[in-house]
Amino acid sequence: MIDNPFYSHEFHGDYDLVSIGRLDLEEGGSIADCQLAVATFGTLNDARDNAILVTTWYSGTHQIFRDVYIGPDHALNPERYFIVVIDQIGSGLSTSPHNAPDEIAMSNFPKVRIGDDVVAQERLLREHFGIETLQLVVGGSMGAQQTYEWAVRFPDKVKRAAPIAGTAQNTPHDFLFGKALVEAITSDPGFADGEYKSNADVVAGLTRHAGIWAVMGFSTEFWKQEVWRALEFGSKEEFLAGFLEPYFTAMDPNDLLCMAWKWQRGDVARHTGGDLAAALGRITATTFVLPINEDMFFPVRDHEAEQALIANSELRVIDDVLGHLGLFGVAPTFMQQVDRHLGELLAR
């Protein structure tokens, strides 16, 4: 167990740690006492039928949703809905390699799949809150993978689904992108096969990892138009050194690797012997598929191919020069689009 101050209330505001007990994992092994970090917004009604689940992305937590996505002016309106954001396993707040008990800590942490997260989340919602159905499951990137997993695994529980900038079946290109990210970290001699003493020991690897995100996370136009100037940086180097690098170097390497492994292998067709059409055919939720037009690794066409396999669905493309990391909601037009789409979806 490593004491990493980033994974704290100071940086992530209010949240609760909820134990769901023992979680047996798809790849074998288990987490004896799985704890999920949960942030809620709004009030669960007496019928317990006004809940929305928000799932989290690689390196993200509930905090970005609190800061950007959720509020009385947004479609994710806590005055109407009980909004539950559950941080994924490996996020650093929920049970993760860096905070796990010794027997599964650090390099001994078991492999976790998207399906394990969704099983854990369903149990938490049911046992802790008494929630049996969800008005909406929504998430971006790895959160989209969890959203799809929810809609395929628990079709009766999901009325609406909104995967943003992420696919139901991870693509081979995405797998290779994940591989490059993983290798940037694990190749750092300070990584020490996962048994470093502090994330600071792996700062070189985490910085290279940030550098690969710079190439793939934004669009070519983001850099060409120098959009980072709107964030009050004076050069792309300052933007890297002042934003992207500190963002990732604060994090725990094993936690990132836990999430990356999951991300690389996300695939709802595991439920149907590899048949993606059959898996997506199970979805009964009204589904809006929300790619970002400038996304370099979850491109629109990959969303389009999956959306065509979902019965009650629409493709709603978000225009954002930031590309994938438009998910941070930096562009003033990003949340306008998300709110319009989610608002229309919730009105269905």
Please list the active-site residues.
141, 295, 324
Choose between 110 and 205: whose C-beta lies nearer to its own copies: 205
Q: Considering the complex, what minimum distance in angstroms separates the CB of residue 302 from its own copies?
A: 7
Q: Considering the complex, what minimum distance in angstroms separates the CB of residue 266 from its own copies?
A: 15
Spatial contact of 7 and 93, defined as CB atoms under 8 Å apart: yes
Choose between 208 and 270: whose C-beta lies nearer to its own copies: 208
| Contacting residues for 334 by C-beta, under 8 A, at least 6 apart | 318, 320, 322, 326
Choose between 7 and 177: whose C-beta lies nearer to its own copies: 177
Choose between 48 and 173: whose C-beta lies nearer to its own copies: 173
Q: Considering the complex, what minimum distance in angstroms separates the CB of residue 220 from its own copies?
A: 4
> Quick one: tokens of 277?
């059409």
Q: Considering the complex, what minimum distance in angstroms separates the CB of residue 204 from its own copies?
A: 7
Residues found near its own copies in the complex (CB under 8 A):
171-173, 175-177, 179-180, 183-184, 187-189, 204-205, 208, 211-212, 214-216, 218-224, 226, 236, 296-297, 299, 301-302
d(CA 335, CA 22): 37
Q: Considering the complex, what minimum distance in angstroms separates the CB of residue 271 from its own copies?
A: 21
Choose between 107 and 171: whose C-beta lies nearer to its own copies: 171
Residue in 223, 148, 211 with CA at minimum distance from that of residue 183: 211
Spatial contact of 36 and 121, defined as CB atoms under 8 Å apart: yes
